[in-house]
Amino acid sequence: MANDLTQSSLVDIARALRVGDVSSVDLLDRFIARVEKYNPGLNAVVTFDYERAREAAKAADAALERGHLLGPLHGVPMTLKDTFEVAGLRTTAGAPEYAEHFSKKDSVVAKRLRAAGAVIFAKTNVPYMAGDLQTFNEIFGTTNNPWDQARTPGGSSGGAAAAVAAGLTSCEVGSDIGGSIRVPSSYCGVFGHKPSWGIVPSRGHIPGPPDSLSEPDINVCGPIGRCPDDLRMLLEVLVGADENQAVGWQCRLPGARHTELRSYRVAAWLGEDGVPMDDRVSGVLRGTVSKLRQAGVPVADEARPEFLLEDAVKLFWQMLIPIVSSGMPSDQLDIFRMLAAEAPAADESPIAIFARGAVQSHHDWMRANEQREKMCAAWAEFFEHYDVLLLPVTPVPAIPHTQEDAVFTRTIEINGKREAYINLFNWLGPVGVARLPSTVVPVGLTDQGLPVGVQVVSPYLEDYTALGFAAHLAGIVGSVGVSPGF
């Protein structure tokens, strides 16, 4: 790791603070200096809380002098995605309607980070209502990718991943309903973990609206860092039942299935006929499999769960759209009802898919949920024979800023051809809808110098298997590291 602690791993930063190699106040000031120097070109950090953070850092330093350790994140300065409520701090979720929303209490995520000793000094940018794989909004503007500022860092945790990649923060916590941890991690060359659904409470996350108590389907909250050990350290802080459930149950995740790399049974599903994939990304992913084989790890590249990718993607959209459309005003839903009624049953255009999904009946959703349970069973059967499955994150590296039109009508370029923007979700949705954990490992750069990540997917609730294998894989491919120029 770098000698400059601002560019070191969370694990090294926390250790340096514990043993007194650096004070929390000093380290906080170093991060603030980097934000002031580099953030104007990135626009990753958007809301600042320096005064209260310095008071918290002073308190952490004083506690250490008394021999009292606050927790595993004692005195660690960090930023937090602008979807998590932090008491007394503005939380907007990139939405103009929440531009002046100041949180009255901490989200569960913020509360657990603080209880572990973290010093939250700023918020990072997101798209409107965390609803895009790019990061821009009317309040704060556009966040740029540290590897190429003409490109997006991904979304919705784009500000978070960009800040980690540029050394503006020690670590981050993102959220992911359709790739919002995984895509920014891949695009920015950092590590990210989408946990199993339900193990990290999302209460206090916007969306839904402020003060929501319900737990949205599919959506998860998870760590972003510079190495797999960072992810594990943060996950251990975050995992656990919400306080109203903790009286009756606890969350005890099993350890990794193996400790030795060669013991892992590995499968790779890196492409599919008829599913567009950029040749540059494919080349990096194939190279990753080659490196595993050179390290003595057999990789089954024909093994698949017993379902079609196309069916899994359709199921993802059917179950996701009611969630993201639930906050729409009634006049917008009326438009979708009209579109759904007029569209032929065979119309698979993005707008027809969204319209049908937004106004489907509960009966339709229940039938889809049964399909999901059957797909989860197929995943479980697959993981009886394999420990991890390697998947692409997206079919392309970080795309140029593409903000025109709506998500469902945009296009992107793949191998010189214009393709639907929603192709970005093809390898993300089947994992999310099945509630599975996925660790993104940066495995290389394209010939344009853009990071490429791979998903390491493991069985439901076996998050430490994905993280354990990710640590081995990182040792083989090497770390992409803090982006050049920072």
Q: Where along the chain do its domains lie?
A: 5-261, 309-373
Q: Summarize pLDDT for 361-387 with one digit per residue, the tens.
A: 999 999 999 999 999 999 999 999 999
User: Can you give the pTM of this predicted structure?
Assistant: 0.97
Q: How many CB atoms lie within 10 A of CB 4?
A: 11
Lowest mean pLDDT among 35-49, 353-367, 384-398: 353-367
C-alpha distances (whole Å) from 220 to each of 283, 332, 342, 426, 472 are: 30, 27, 35, 18, 25
Task: Determine the Cα–Cα distance for residues 350 and 38; give it in Å rounded to an integer.
Answer: 38
Mean pLDDT of 232-250: 95
pLDDT at position 2 over 50: no
296 pLDDT band, cuts 50/70/90, is: very high
Confidence of residue 481 (pLDDT cuts 50, 70, 90): low
Answer for the pair 184, 157: CB distance below 8 angstroms, yes or no.
Answer: yes
Length of the chain in terms of residues written: 486
Task: Write the burial class of residue 109 (CB in 10 Å: 0-12 exposed, 13-18 middle, 19+ buried).
Answer: buried
| pLDDT at residue 479 in the model | 67
Q: Two tokens at 391?
A: 């998947």
* pLDDT at res. 148: 97
Q: How far apart are CA 105 and CA 63, in angstroms?
A: 24
Residue 167 has pLDDT above 50, yes or no: yes
Of the spans 61-65, 246-250, 333-337, which averages the highest pLDDT?
A: 61-65
**pLDDT band, very low/low/confident/very high, at 293 (cuts 50, 70, 90):** very high
What does the DSSP 8-state code read for residue 148? B
322 neighbors 357 (Cβ within 8 angstroms):
yes
To 5 degrees, how large is the angle CA 90–CA 91–CA 95? 120
Contact between 129 and 158 (Cβ < 8 Å): no
In CATH terms, the superfamily for domain 5-261 is Amidase signature (AS) domain (3.90.1300.10)
The yes-or-no verdict on residue 484 having pLDDT over 80 is no
| Range 412-431 average pLDDT | 97
Higher pLDDT, 405 or 297: 297
Task: Please say if the pLDDT value at position 262 is more than 80.
Answer: yes
Q: How confident is the model at residue 87 (pLDDT cuts 50, 70, 90)?
A: very high
pLDDT of amino acid 1: 39
> 98 with 141: CB under 8 angstroms?
no
pLDDT at 152: 98
**H or E element in which residue 322 lies:** helix 309-324
pLDDT confidence of residue 78 = 98
* pLDDT at position 405 over 80: yes
Q: Above 80 in pLDDT, residue 265?
A: yes
At residue 332 the predicted structure's pLDDT band, cuts being 50, 70 and 90, is confident
Q: What is the mean pLDDT of residues 422-436?
A: 97
Confidence band, pLDDT 50/70/90 cuts, at residue 288: very high
- Summarised one tens digit per residue, pLDDT across range 89-123 is 999 999 999 999 999 999 999 999 999 999 999 99
Question: Pick from 4, 21, 399, 16: which is nearest to 166 by CA?
Answer: 4
Q: 393 near 179, Cβ under 8 Å?
A: yes
Return d(Cα 406, Cα 388) in angstroms, integer. 35
Tally of CB atoms within 10 A around 365: 15
What's the N-to-C CA distance of the chain in angstroms? 14
Per-residue confidence band for 3, with pLDDT thresholds at 50, 70 and 90: low
pLDDT tens-digit map of 208-217: 899 899 989 9
* Residues 6 or more apart in contact with residue 65 via CB below 8 angstroms: none
